[in-house]
Chain A
Amino acid sequence: EAGVTQFPSHSVIEKGQTVTLRCDPISGHDNLYWYRRVMGKEIKFLLHFVKESKQDESGMPNNRFLAERTGGTYSTLKVQPAELEDSGVYFCASSQDWAVDNSPLHFGNGTRLTVT
């Protein structure tokens, strides 16, 4: 089966611009997660979709970040306007089941975002 796919792999933008990251989960996985690793910090949870619904968005840093999952398939994460501190690696993960004991997360390769 195809894994979790993220696009682009790298993005370099200027402060104030807009960037949209895309994640294609494993087919049939209802649960989709976004995580982020800012330079020198831990990987941190951003949000969790179950199908097209946001189940938990407690990790979203501020209202410059907008995540969508229309139709419950792929997801996008838009940053508008981007700030320097948004630089980092954005990971997407998916799982079949809500309970991670039964269904561990499968991660994509990440999108490395650099804001200059």
Chain B
Amino acid sequence: EAQVTQNPRYLITVTGKKLTVTCSQNMNHEYMSWYRQDPGLGLRQIYYSMNVEVTDKGDVPEGYKVSRKEKRNFPLILESPSPNQTSLYFCATSGQEVREQFFGPGTRLTVL
């Protein structure tokens, strides 16, 4: 079954404590990206990756890092989380020839 998994699904943390949200896909897709969703603002892209070792900034990259060492994984790293990064985060993937993006189930992050 085609899947995009995210872990953890829920996280409450404190300001400044580094955290990583993992994203993994089993579809051998080249393209992966991270979005955040906030009330009234819709989904906004944070970072994306066209393939292994190729990453680039989206619309709201400040305060986030990513890496793409393997095709299946695309972790989102918050080195020093702040309360304004409290949000619902989604990972998405698609293949090169496919216009359909698959989204993960989401990670709800609260930074106190």
A binds B: no
- A residues neighboring B (CB under 8 Å): none
- B residues neighboring A (CB under 8 Å): none
